[in-house]
Structure 1
Amino acid sequence: MSPFPYRDPWAKREAWRKHPVFSNRAMFANLFPGFGIAVVAFSAYVLADNIFLSKRSQEVSHH
């Protein structure tokens, strides 16, 4: 006899739901794939653009 009084016949088929890949943390981490890389790339672009434009505006104002 099984140690559990009520055996779930669907337990094997539902086991995937408890796998760590399907945890809330993993789902949140994969919610926005590439977001971190995009933030870094956009920040670098804005920084470079501001530096380039500030040098260019100084050159224009001296003429």
Structure 2
Amino acid sequence: MADDRPLYRDPWAKREAWRKSPIFTTRSYLRHLFPGFGIGLAAFVVYVVVDETVLKKRAQNGHHDNHDHH
């Protein structure tokens, strides 16, 4: 009668299996360290671009208009 099971079987193997899950890798940890950082950075860049282009032009045009109403 040949038994293919190993002679030593770890009784805690099922309880330790979560440590080998891909969720707990260093890459996954670093990727999820700052959730929403990419979206926040993109929104900030869009805000700065709009502020520097559109709002500065509007402020310059509005500055000249305010003197005409006095």
TM-score by length of 1: 0.75
The correspondence of residues 15-34 of structure 1 with structure 2, limited to 5 A, is 15-34=17-36
Question: Structure 2 unaligned runs (5+)?
Answer: none
Deviation at 1:8, TM superposition (A): 2.0
Structure 1: unaligned runs, 5 residues or longer: none
Runs of 4+ off more than 6 Å: none
Residue by residue over 1:16-54, the C-alpha shift from the partner in whole angstroms, topping out at 9 and shown as x without a partner, is 110111111111111111110000000000000011343
For the aligned residue pairs, the C-alpha RMSD in angstroms reads: 2.3
Matched, 1:13 2:15: yes
Given candidates 1, 6, 14, the residue that maps to 1:3 is: 6
Measure, in 1, the Cα distance between the counterparts of 2:23 and 2:42: 26
- Number of matched pairs: 62
The residue type equivalent to 2:26 in the other structure is: N
Aligned twin of 2:50: 48
Same amino acid, percent of matched pairs: 56
